[in-house]
Chains A and B, each alone.
Chain A
Amino acid sequence: MAADNPIDPIHQFEISKIAEMQIAGIDISFTNSSLFMVFAIAATMTLFILGLSKRSIIPNRMQMLSELSYNFIANMLRDQVGDQGRAYFPFIFSLFMFIFFCNFIGLIPYTFTVTSHLIVTFAFAGLIFLAVTIIGFMKNGLGYLRIFYPSGIPIFLAPLIVPIEIISYLSKPISLSVRLCANMLAGHSILKIFAGFIVMLGFLGFAPLIFLVVLYALETLIAALQAYIFTILTCIYLNDALHPDH
């Protein structure tokens, strides 16, 4: 149904194999998704290798960029979690850079957006959820269960509040992963649809072209914003695990 439609907006999300691979009968072929994951980490590594090549007191542009991103995430973690969050900084920083570059590389026409696949964002969200839960129980013991019953709530409200809190806690990984994935999916689909309109309308195509330019700027903002939101929510969940009292 999709192959013969030239402006199928979903086509860009299809996964095609580049090299067949199997481990114990499980298909782990190197696909276009894998390729763009490699691109994303290659872009991150290039940024930091170039940024760290000189390491001068007065930074050049690349060094400035890498230091800006470092300070941005470090400040975010310090503001949200405090000094105890320092141990998780490498993970948070890698997470942000990975999602950021996946989102941005996906904006280039004819590329693939790794983060538009729910399984990828859910893998991150699930990992974060598990890690946060384990950290919460390790740091607070059974006292971590207090997050399901906030202090200052009358006891007769407990049968109402506790299930709500449990549901909201369990839905965190789902909302976290779906938010990023749906934003990428919807944004890129709309871009594709409007790009198709330009071709279809011929001379009149300038109208959707103008709209596409505006939309593209919006999608650029969303690409950065969603990476930021994903990271800051991770910090907030981590803070809940480290300080369940508030």
Chain B
Amino acid sequence: MKFFLKIFIFVLPLSEAYAEGQKSAGLPQMDISTFPSQLFWLIVTFTALYLFMWKFVIPRLSTTIEERKDKISNDINDAENLNSEASKILENYDDKMNSASLESNEIVSSSKATMNEYLDKLKKDNEIKINAMITESEKKIHQQKQQSEQEIKKATIDTIKSIVSKYVETVPSDDEISKKLN
């Protein structure tokens, strides 16, 4: 549609102009008398623009863009350096952490061992003490048992003597009684 409109717009004024005997050119584009002026001013303005672009704009713009590129690549380099430095520090830190944890493990295990030793020792000491106390008290019990047995024997003998003396004239000796009792 646009194509036809273009043709229409081009052709219609041209044909009218032709009909009017080309006195007033229909399309201003076809008016040859304006061509020198247009060309002259086009050359003047475009040359001015060309010189402005060539001498002023392009050198400045390209240096600005180059500077920015340099700055960015420098910054990227710096960032990479810092990054590698940081990873080195991280490695270092990891190493230190590892050795520290190893050390602390060692400390923990060694202190555990000493603690166990101490506990064992304490246990043994206590056992010895307890055993000593047990034997001592067993001894005491034994002594008291013997003592009380003897006392009971004595008392029994005395009782027997007194009972027997009530019924019999001759009182048996202690040895006899104890023999009989056993």
Contact = CB atoms under 8 A, between A and B. Distances in A.
A105 to B, nearest CB: 13
Interface stretch (B21-29, B136-144, B147-155, B168-176): B21-29
Nearest to A39: B45
A185 B60 CA distance: 36
Nearest to A28: B40
A220 interface: no
A30 B41 contact: yes
Nearest to B43: A123
Interface residues of A, number: 53
A63 B64 CA distance: 10
A65 to B, nearest CB: 11
B42 interface: yes
A57 B9 contact: no
B152 to A, nearest CB: 116
B71 interface: yes
A240 interface: no
A97 B53 contact: yes
Interface string A26-60: 11111101100110110011001001100101000
B35 interface: yes
Contacts of B18: none
> In the complex, which of the residues B13, B27, B36, B61 has the most CB atoms of chain A within 10 Å of its own CB atom?
B61
Contacts of B40: 23, 28
A111 interface: no
B29 A123 contact: no
B16 interface: yes
B29 A38 contact: no
Nearest to A30: B41
Nearest to B32: A119
Interface in A127-162: none
A120 B38 contact: yes
A114 B34 CA distance: 13
B31 interface: yes
Interface in A60-116: 63, 66-67, 70-71, 89-91, 93-94, 97-98, 114, 116
Contact of B50 (A90, A119, A123): A90
A217 interface: no
Interface string B56-73: 111011101101100100
A16 to B, nearest CB: 10
Contacts of A15: 28, 31, 34, 37-38
Contact of B57 (A10, A28, A48, A98): A48
A19 B49 CA distance: 22
A145 B9 CA distance: 39
A41 B29 contact: no
A45 B50 CA distance: 11
Contact of B60 (A1, A52, A186): A52
Given A13-B27, A41-B48, A119-B39, 8 more contacts: A10-B27, A33-B41, A37-B46, A38-B41, A55-B60, A57-B68, A66-B61, A97-B49
Interface of A: 1-2, 9-10, 13-15, 21, 23, 26-31, 33-34, 37-38, 40-41, 44-45, 48, 51-52, 55, 57, 63, 66-67, 70-71, 89-91, 93-94, 97-98, 114, 116-120, 123, 181-182, 185-186, 189-190
